[in-house]
Amino acid sequence: MQKFDVCIVGAGPGGSMAAKVAAKAGLNTVFLERSRVVGEKNSSGCGLGQHWWRDFPEIMEKVERLPSFREITHCFFKVTDEDDRLITSLGTGWTKLDDDRIVYKGKGRGMTGCSIYRCDLDPLLANMAVEAGAELRTSTLVTDVIKEGGRVTGVVTDKGEKIQADIVIAADGAHSTVAIASGIRKRFAKKDITMVPQFDFSADPDKLDDVVGAAEQVWFGTFCAAYQVNFHDGFHLGAGQWLDIWSGKKPVELLTPILKIPAFQAMCRATDAKIREFQVHLLPWMPHPSYAGKTYGDGVLLIGDAGGFPCPLEAEGVWHACMTGKIAAEVAGQAISAGNPSRDFLKEYERRWEDSAIGEEYHFGKQFVGLWRATAFDPVFMKTMGRFIGEMQSLAFPGPVFDWSTSHMQAINDHLGHFLSLLPQMSAVVPHLKPLGRGISDANRDTIAELIVGSIKKKVPIIPTFITRPLIRKMLGKAGRQACKL
């Protein structure tokens, strides 16, 4: 029986990152992949967010040179009605202020991410782990774990081979054999996991540059929502739904309504897009990984999708897998040095990721998930939501400038009236949005407080600011004592 320090199950981004970090630390590391070549079994997104330029810039420099790479600086929401007519487009913003939050080699990257096929990304990351000294075994399925006295001490493969290790890292995705076999959890609760069907389209790369450019798209309508992730020479059109509120449709039926939208068809015509492949996968999507249980066990650590780590707001998962993979490998190293791979020692892993940028992802997870479940995943609500967004845009610049149906002031009143009439129906979102106020930083609260204090001073100069300032700051959630320091 072969014995390693660390055995990692799965050579997706998280598994490869864990293997790289473990091998670099001098640990005898093996990572196992069930497919023939790394990246052959994966159909996630795949978008790499801006924080990749902060946390893994050297990898991003390599990713930029991969064939399917498309730089992404924007996302456009195409909102449609029940007759598939375009209500409006909503877009993200880009300013130099935003971009300069992450600077790498003198260039702002704070609003710059990318799309990349997993069949490109995964081999790149796996090669980095192999170069660092980790042993990669492909065509190797793990079917069980070895347990000694309740502790996981290795894995069993489909060929009956037993591989021993001080620590096993589960990087085997949403349906994690390691998590299930080691007894940490069974299946995810239906409310914590989504089914995601996805079409891959081929497209003319130059035309895709011209028509779509450096942007992702999201199709929004009474069919709920579908993402369009754009790569160099194609795109993914995908949609998800939680299993506990699964509509009774077949998975592919989440996508077929988008194929009928004239604006989508126009984009396909303009880019020579054709359906090339159908893919499907499960995607954990929950407020916090603890909803699925612990992310560690005796001799075992769960990372990425296996641990339930995807972002609760937009379900990004590759960064989360890599970050947790890195932390897991570091904690595994410490446990091995201490000669203590026990559950007790490994709880350090959970403390580490909770205290890191990963942990911050779930601070408002309950609100994020609640917001989606109350809105974009509810077809009845989406009818109202589409109209509401439309009226919001009709009121906002440049809406009124282009409404010549009547006098401009009358047009503004028409839209304001429509907007106000829809407002009560939007109350479903309030319980999810209101707690997000707690996330506003002290610096921003200070600025808002000073704007209000200044405005009161201007209108009612007789009330001194030493009275208004603490009151306003308290109202905005700042302690009165702190306020006196200003």
Residues that bind other proteins (CB under 8 A): 33-36, 39-44, 46, 68, 117-119, 138-141, 143, 157-159, 174-175, 177, 187-188, 190, 193, 195, 197, 199-200, 202, 231, 234, 243, 246, 248-252, 256, 259-260, 265, 268-269, 274-282
Distance in Å, CB of 118 to other proteins, minimum: 5
- The nearer residue to other proteins, 269 or 351, going by C-beta atoms, is 269
Strand partners, 90: 77
3-state helix, strand, coil in the chain (%, to 5): 45, 25, 30
- The nearer residue to other proteins, 148 or 158, going by C-beta atoms, is 158
Distance in Å, CB of 306 to other proteins, minimum: 12
- The nearer residue to other proteins, 224 or 449, going by C-beta atoms, is 224
Distance in Å, CB of 266 to other proteins, minimum: 8
Local structure of residue 40 (DSSP, 8 states):
S
Distance in Å, CB of 69 to other proteins, minimum: 14
Distance in Å, CB of 141 to other proteins, minimum: 4
- The nearer residue to other proteins, 112 or 140, going by C-beta atoms, is 140
Distance in Å, CB of 482 to other proteins, minimum: 48
Inter-residue long-range contacts of 80-85, CB under 8 Å, 24+ positions, other chains counted: 80/219, 80/220, 80/221, 80/222, 80/261, 80/263, 80/386, 81/221, 81/222, 81/383, 81/386, 81/387, 81/390, 82/221, 82/222, 82/383, 84/221, 84/257, 84/260, 84/261, 84/262, 85/262
Distance in Å, CB of 161 to other proteins, minimum: 11
Cα separation of 16 and 473, whole Å?
A: 48
- The nearer residue to other proteins, 36 or 65, going by C-beta atoms, is 36
- The nearer residue to other proteins, 282 or 456, going by C-beta atoms, is 282
Cα separation of 442 and 54, whole Å?
A: 24
Distance in Å, CB of 44 to other proteins, minimum: 7
* Residues 215 and 76: beta-carbon distance below 8 Å: yes
Distance in Å, CB of 268 to other proteins, minimum: 5
- The nearer residue to other proteins, 43 or 394, going by C-beta atoms, is 43
Cα separation of 224 and 241, whole Å?
A: 9
Size of the chain, expressed as the number of residues it contains: 486
Structure tokens at 96: 């130099």
- The nearer residue to other proteins, 202 or 356, going by C-beta atoms, is 202
Distance in Å, CB of 48 to other proteins, minimum: 15
Residue 45 burial (CB count, 10 A): 23
- The nearer residue to other proteins, 21 or 273, going by C-beta atoms, is 273
Number of helices (H), then strands (E), in the chain = 19, 21
7 cis-preceded (ω within 30 degrees of 0): no
Q: Which residue's entry shows tokens 């990351």?
A: 125
**Sequential DSSP letters for 85-145:** -EEEEEE----HHHHTTSEETTEE-TT-EEE--HHHHHHHHHHHHHHTTPEEE-S--EEEE
- The nearer residue to other proteins, 34 or 320, going by C-beta atoms, is 34
Is the alpha carbon torsion for 203, 208, 212, 213 positive or negative? positive
Largest alpha-carbon pair distance within the chain? 84
